[in-house]
Amino acid sequence: MAEVVPSFSNSVKLKYVKLGYQYLVNHILTFLLVPIMVGVTIEVLRLGPEELLSIWNSLHFDLLQILCSSFPIIFIATVYFMSKPRSIYLVDYSCYKAPVTCRVPFSTFMEHSRLILKDNPKSVEFQMRILERSGLGEETCLPPAIHYIPPTPTMEAARGEAEVVIFSAIDDLMKKTGLKPKDIDILIVNCSLFSPTPSLSAMVVNKYKLRSNIKSYNLSGMGCSAGLISIDLARDLLQVHPNSNALVVSTEIITPNYYKGSERAMLLPNCLFRMGGAAILLSNKRRDRYRAKYRLMHVVRTQKGADDKAFKCVFEQEDPQGKVGINLSKDLMVIAGEALKSNITTIGPLVLPASEQLLFLLTLISRKFFNPKLKPYIPDFKQAFEHFCIHAGGRAVIDELQKNLQLSAEHVEASRMTLHRFGNTSSSSLWYEMSYIEAKGRMKKGDRVWQIAFGSGFKCNSAVWKCNRTIKTPTDGPWQDCIDRYPVHIPEIVKL
């Protein structure tokens, strides 16, 4: 009987070949310098003490020459340290957790839909199909005004929701960090769809009696990616204002934005969006680096608003009956994919190791000059990051990014579980995901975190954080009473 020759893929573990390649390329300078240093050391050891002393004595040092040669080095070093951007630290953050009285199980949501849309059973059935496939769980929350039949989205109710969500998150953050109102130098509040007068940032200033010279900003209309836009703005402000603290508040107020019509594309947000908010404390103070949880490494923003389809794919408008809502286009996922492609093209060179950049470059050259049909190489971002926080905008968003970035189930676990437990909390969802990773005890010193968010306009924004210290499993936070139950299995369809 002929001997069966084992295949190469079985006899040689290809993954180890790839690991060897990555280690070789990423440490190429070390491999080149070590032999040189060894050779110099051996040569020095061959010389006796008298020869070394003779060489030292043969060198003639002139004070003027020393000063002249030292000046360029000192000048370059001074310019480098003066122009070096300040380090931005994330001291801590806090996420709002709604009370159980705001909980909206599937049965309650569908009962309300049937009563509100009793003259339009097809719209009710459509919402049920969306909810079955949404990836949401039974514990997501909506504000009190939406629990009424019919809902009562008044200005007073909207302000009430804003006060509860924002003040609760800030109070918890102040308790965690010992932050006092007088210590806040910069305030940024982002809320896309609710923009009252006075602004939400003015509401925070009034509540906490902040200083009269505080630099406050209120961002609206920027969608679910506004949280990272706020981080980018805070970073820029902290670069020019030394020894300062920045308080960033990210939320979306649901009360005034509940759609009461029957247009299918505008009913989607009703099924997905839920209450939530987060308060984040950033600092550029050197003394805060020892207690801060993370250091901000990069922020990359991509704007596709010049394209008409991208601009209108998430659009607030009136339906034929004059009822206002958010229209989500069918092209949303395609546009999000294009925005993501542009974003990772920019962020890739900043974060990817040399081995991945070399493979990407070789594939690009091969496609350009040899074989245009060659499959493009997708960089392995798992080599650059230990944790991924993908905006929990919906199951389709998470599925698409997991597929395109070739991520494992564990890499997207925080996003899926956040969507299941809290729903789409808009710009604050990234912080619930970060909190999930911490609650699971997975965040270690030196770990890198990639936050990815999408928003109307259309925008794709990224932030990269590096963990300053190993995070102890928190005893509080939004996951306090349920983390032991997670992760849970989320079926493709939940029959209602």
pLDDT at 84: 73
Query: Of the candidates 326, 276, 301, 302, which has an alpha carbon nearest to the alpha carbon of residue 429?
Result: 276
Q: From CA 117, how far away is CA 124, in angstroms rounded? A: 7
Q: What is the pLDDT of residue 81?
A: 66
Looking only at the bridges linking them, the beta strands covering 387-390 and 448-455 are parallel
Nearest residue to 246 via CA among 435, 48, 426, 91? 91
Query: What pLDDT is attached to residue 214?
Result: 96
Cα(158)–Cα(144) distance, rounded to whole angstroms? 10
**What pLDDT score does 369 carry?**
79
Q: What is the DSSP letter of 234?
A: H
Residue 27 is predicted with a pLDDT of: 61
Tell me the β-bridge partners of 296: 465
Place of tokens 């947000």: 269
Q: Select from 270, 314, 277 the least CA-distant residue to 191.
A: 277
DSSP, residue by residue, 275-327: --EEEEEEE--GGGGGT-SEEEEEEEEEE-TTSHHHHHSEEEEE-TTS-EEEE
Closest CA relative to residue 248, chosen from 204, 298, 208: 204
Taking alpha carbons only, the member of 453, 398, 410 closest to residue 431 is 453
Distance set, CA 428 to CA 139, 265, 390, 397, 432 (Å):
17, 23, 11, 16, 7
- Fold (topology level) of 88-469: Peroxisomal Thiolase; Chain A, domain 1 (3.40.47)
| Model confidence, pTM | 0.86
Q: Which portions of the chain are predicted below pLDDT 50?
A: 1-16
What is the spatial distance between Cα 238 and Cα 217, in angstroms, rounded to a whole number? 14
Give the per-residue pLDDT at 61.
62
pLDDT of residue 2: 44
